Amino acid sequence: MKTMTFAGAIEDALMKAMSEDSRIVVFGEDVHALRMNLFTKFGEMRVRPTPISESAFLGAAVTAAMAGLRPVVELMMVDFVAVASDALVNHAAKLEGFSGGRWKAPMVVRMGCGGGYGDGGQHEQSLWGWLAQVPGMKVVVPSNPADAGGLMLSALEDEGPGAARRGASDEAGHTAEERPVEWEAVLYL
């Protein structure tokens, strides 16, 4: 078993999943730099940098998911989900219920969170409790790198929208394979 950081475990999970499933696309601010290994291997069509417009690219992710892709959206900070909440809270999370099961939005939204590093009030909140209250939303907050990678693999297999915390800590840990999750029963906060 190899030892790695949160970031490394997530990168490994995305690399594995993207190699096996051509429907997975990653987009968000600076992903071409943050996910250089993915960008190099899969190119700009599957790892797309976006402008600073969370509402636009989260809305695009909902549409992409409805069209058959499996987007992974990277928001720099959880605080920015507020400006994009309509797409996530009112559309992606409720789509399956509103459509009688005919439509789904299989997507993962990754967001940095937490405080203590001096970024100011609009960069240091933890909004997981708020997101966990949204019907149809699944929230995962892994506590170690093995869970971060394993839960990412599980989230990518899920048919609905989910939000995953991007750990502020970069502590080392062990990687793991997919972690089966009964989303309604297990909530990592």
pLDDT of residue 118: 66
pLDDT of residue 16: 95
Rounded Cα gap, residues 79 and 124, in angstroms = 7
Report the percentage of the chain scoring pLDDT > 70.
Answer: 78
pTM score, whole prediction: 0.81
Domain interval for residue 94: 3-174
User: Which CATH number goes with the domain that contains 128?
Assistant: 3.40.50.970
Residue 173 contacts residue 4 (beta carbons within 8 Å) = yes
Half-sphere exposure of 24 (CA within 13 A, CB side): 22
Convert the pLDDT of each residue in 42-60 to its tens digit: 999 999 999 999 889 999 9
pLDDT of residue 187: 31
Contacts from 48-57 at CB under 8 Å and sequence distance 24+?
54/80, 54/81, 54/83, 54/84, 55/83, 55/84, 55/86, 55/87, 57/27, 57/28, 57/84
Provide the residue count of the chain: 189
Rounded Cα gap, residues 72 and 157, in angstroms = 12
- Does a structural domain hold residue 186? no
- Does a structural domain hold residue 182? no
CA distances to 42, 58, 68, 93 from 99, rounded to whole Å, are 33, 20, 16, 12
Rounded Cα gap, residues 170 and 174, in angstroms = 12
Domain count for the chain: 1
Structure tokens at 94: 């409720």
- Does a structural domain hold residue 44? yes
Residue positions annotated with a catalytic role: 123
Convert the pLDDT of each residue in 68-105 to its tens digit: 999 999 888 777 888 888 998 889 988 888 899 898 88
Q: Choose between 173 and 146: higher pLDDT.
A: 146
Structure tokens at 154: 């599980």
- Does a structural domain hold residue 180? no
pLDDT of residue 162: 59
> How confident is the prediction for the chain on average, in pLDDT?
80
